Structure 1
Amino acid sequence: MSNPAQRANKLFVQTFGTLADTLYFAPGRVNLIGEHTDYNDGFVLPAAINFHTIIAIKRREDSQFRAVSDAFPGEMKEWTFGEEGNRPESPEWADYLKGFSSAMAISGLATKGMDLAIVSNVPLGAGLSSSAALEIAFGTAINDANQIQLSPLAIAQLAQRGENHYVGCACGIMDQMISALGQQDHALLIDCLDLDSEAVSIPENLSLIIINSNVKRGLVESEYNLRREQCEQVAAHFQLDSLRHLELADLEAAKDQLSDANYRRAKHVITENRRTQNAAWALESGNISQLSTLMAESHISMRDDFEITVPEIDFLVEIVSSVIGEKGGVRMTGGGFGGCVVALVDHELTDAVVEIVEQQYLDKTGIEATIYLCSASDGAKRLDN
């Protein structure tokens, strides 16, 4: 099969009858540790992955956008810059693009329109942030083609704003930042309070494995927003802006004043922030046994305190852990309620991990897992056409 860049060029010519000016790409991502901490102004440790969204574009002289995607053949979406309309009741793929252009307009930034052809190999619905890859590829294209000179961080902030206010998902900044700022062979420790980031090298002897449980993810958005509300309720109880500023000792002292669910949600976030910072140090220094322990503790916290895992995910973590021991780490990754498991595994154990998943997961669950052997990728950029 032709590569995504060739497919994007071909789709553009087939749709618009002319050659594209330029191509832009942005990666999906996997979060190594630091789950549901980003919207609590905490720490996350994601890596961009070598699955990408590529957009072929041609600038227009008016304010019209026309977009097609190979994932939704036969659909052309059109809108005018600054006239994106109200928040959609049921968001579609193009609403992530409209969200970005709407956020630009509200911020007082101007742009010409574009014709767009979109091709992606970021798996949809797997929790690998196909939406952020789409937003950031589009934002990078608008910024570069119109010479607006926004920084990658500013593009990420506009994309988050669009998703929050136009699409209606109360996501944090992590997905957009790592897609915009990723570095090859590195994870990125992001402080979601001040948006500082620090590249953390991934040791050469570790394989990055993502295992999609292929559990159909139900109620993800409503449960995600509920978790965010619960965290905000605890912060408000302590008269704080976010859980970032709450100490575990203070939470424990006020345990009787909170609902059990809210107490456990806050406990997860506070302890996950510590684990994430410690995991970045462990990864950078090659202390894989400590990384293994921290990822295991993270999974238990997501399972018991934040309550976002499902039995199939727990089983995947259990069987992978039985193979790798302290020679790697494994945990659920993403928003929860299905989706993926991430594992950092010593190269020599990669085949054994694949083998045990293929042997046991289908027998146990009746579902076939999808296994992706990945590498940490660069963030969004223009491609030479």
Structure 2
Amino acid sequence: MSDFKSIFSTPLEVEAAAPGRVNLLGEHTDYNDGFVLPTAIPQQTIVQLGYSADQAFHFYSHELKEQVDWQPSGTTPAEFARYLVGCIRSLEETGISVPPLNVFVASDVPIGSGLSSSAALEVAMLRGLRSLLNLKLNDVQIAQLGQQAEIHYAGVQCGIMDQMASSLADPVHMLFLDTRSLDRQILDLPENSEILVIDSGIPRTLAGSGYNQRRAECEAAAKQLGVKALRDISDPATVESLPEPLRRRARHVVTENNRVLEAKQGVSADRFGELMNASHASLRDDYEVSVPGLDQLVAILQQTPGVFGARLTGAGFGGACVALVQPGQAETIAHQTLEKYQQQGFQGKILVPESDRSIR
């Protein structure tokens, strides 16, 4: 097994880690200045840093078995290294000088499942740089720098939710976040419940184009309604005058924000599950970001005893589903669900609780 010393032959100076996240409620609301309710997942990305023996940066991914060498005068590299370079450049834009480094990355955060592997990498890298260089950065600033890295160097016009969740959340609480003000609150999960996340096995091939289209539709809806963002509308009836599909897009955002605000007040596991079910229906019908396989997986979960509620999580068009289930039942429910899902011609995998087992 490779490690920092065997790859770089230089001393390891610091190690930092950050988790992926799953969003329980509040999908496609963050870029509308709205409210979200994510939690961290147990899987983490670990970044190890040491000083380079030359004037170049050297990045190594343990999972990809790939090394990227980068000269600061060169262009931004591709793949995983672009996120690391983005973090370095974002720091430098604040006036902080970053010396040439060796960077070793290891991660068990699933890639391409909508669990924010990129945010985990950014936050872990920035935490490592904070420690190595003794920087006075708080956790919100870490998240903001990670978001800038993703927007400007990875080319993803993301909201702030993923980086804030990776930087501030933990796996046993929910993070309520107002994405406009960044006001936040750590909340308990509904009593007598636990979280189950299953990868649908459907790649998110349309997420990029669909995401950008939905974002543009929301901006158009807000403009027609005369508000800065759809978060400024709280009554769903207000959007009924909009032309299609703007009416349905706006209705999802308004009702989704209301679901998050209700959950924030503290509700039972049964009620939280109802809110999750309503969220999926809204994402499927009004926002149109689900696909048949995701709908099948969610329907199986919703019909399984011990499941309070289930929905797609992440941008949609594939990826993962999240469910709230009775405590101690997640593994059993997951295997029952995956067996039925396989019978319908799909291949899924348990992501949380941590498992690399799938129905083959």
Q: Name the TM-score, length of structure 2 as normaliser.
A: 0.92
Any unmatched runs of 5+ in structure 1?
1-6, 376-385
Equivalent position of 1:292 in the other structure: 273
Do residues 261 (structure 1) and 245 (structure 2) align?
yes
**Structure 1 position 84, deviation (Å):** 6.0
Deviations 1:286-327 (A, max 9, x none): x112111111110000000110111111111111111146x5
Match of 1:213 among 166, 185, 200: 200
- Structure 1 residues 61 and 194, CA gap change in structure 2 (3 angstroms): farther
Any unmatched runs of 5+ in structure 2?
355-360
Q: Any conservation in 2 of the 1:32–1:46 contact (CA below 8 Å)?
A: yes
**Structure 1 position 233, deviation (Å):** 1.3
Q: Report SS of the residue matched to 2:7.
A: helix
Q: Any conservation in 2 of the 1:248–1:267 contact (CA below 8 Å)?
A: no
Q: Any conservation in 1 of the 2:22–2:41 contact (CA below 8 Å)?
A: yes
- Structure 1 residues 79 and 219, CA gap change in structure 2 (3 angstroms): farther
Q: Any conservation in 1 of the 2:277–2:311 contact (CA below 8 Å)?
A: yes
Aligned-pair RMSD on alpha carbons? 2.1
CA distance in 2 between partners of 1:194 and 1:324 (Å): 39
Match of 1:85 among 71, 75, 83: 75
Q: Any conservation in 2 of the 1:186–1:202 contact (CA below 8 Å)?
A: yes
Further displaced range: 60-69 or 211-220? 60-69
Q: Report SS of the residue matched to 2:87.
A: helix
Equivalent position of 1:332 in the other structure: 312
Deviations 1:162-182 (A, max 9, x none): 211221111100100010111
CA distance in 1 between partners of 2:28 and 2:269 (Å): 23
**Structure 1 position 208, deviation (Å):** 1.2
Deviations 1:114-135 (A, max 9, x none): 2110000011111111100001
- Structure 1 residues 275 and 62, CA gap change in structure 2 (3 angstroms): farther
CA distance in 1 between partners of 2:184 and 2:141 (Å): 14
CA distance in 1 between partners of 2:180 and 2:271 (Å): 26
Do residues 30 (structure 1) and 11 (structure 2) align?
no
Further displaced range: 291-300 or 59-68? 59-68
Do residues 129 (structure 1) and 116 (structure 2) align?
yes
- Structure 1 residues 348 and 167, CA gap change in structure 2 (3 angstroms): closer
Q: Report SS of the residue matched to 2:287.
A: coil
Do residues 370 (structure 1) and 349 (structure 2) align?
yes
Q: Report SS of the residue matched to 1:217.
A: coil
Query: Which structure 2 residues correspond to residues 138-149 of structure 1 after superposition, within 5 A?
Result: 138-149=125-136
Match of 2:330 among 321, 328, 350: 350
Match of 2:213 among 226, 237, 241: 226
Q: Any conservation in 2 of the 1:44–1:191 contact (CA below 8 Å)?
A: yes
Q: Any conservation in 1 of the 2:20–2:115 contact (CA below 8 Å)?
A: yes
Do residues 58 (structure 1) and 68 (structure 2) align?
no
Q: Quick one: higher RCO (CA 8 Å, sep 6+), 1 or 2?
A: 1
Match of 1:305 among 272, 286, 292: 286
Q: Report SS of the residue matched to 1:323.
A: coil
**Aligned residue identity for 1:167:** A
Equivalent position of 1:380 in the other structure: none
**Aligned residue identity for 2:347:** E
CA distance in 1 between partners of 2:265 and 2:333 (Å): 25
CA distance in 1 between partners of 2:81 and 2:203 (Å): 22
Match of 1:319 among 290, 297, 300: 300
Count of aligned pairs = 354
Match of 1:116 among 86, 98, 103: 103
CA distance in 2 between partners of 1:15 and 1:122 (Å): 22
Further displaced range: 306-315 or 61-70? 61-70
**Aligned residue identity for 1:218:** T
**Aligned residue identity for 2:117:** S
Q: When you count helix as a share of all residues, which structure comes out higher?
A: 1
Q: Report SS of the residue matched to 1:193.
A: coil
Do residues 67 (structure 1) and 59 (structure 2) align?
yes
Q: Any conservation in 2 of the 1:84–1:98 contact (CA below 8 Å)?
A: no
Q: How high is the sequence identity, in percent, across the aligned residues?
A: 38
**Aligned residue identity for 2:178:** D
CA distance in 2 between partners of 1:269 and 1:123 (Å): 27
Match of 1:20 among 12, 22, 44: 12
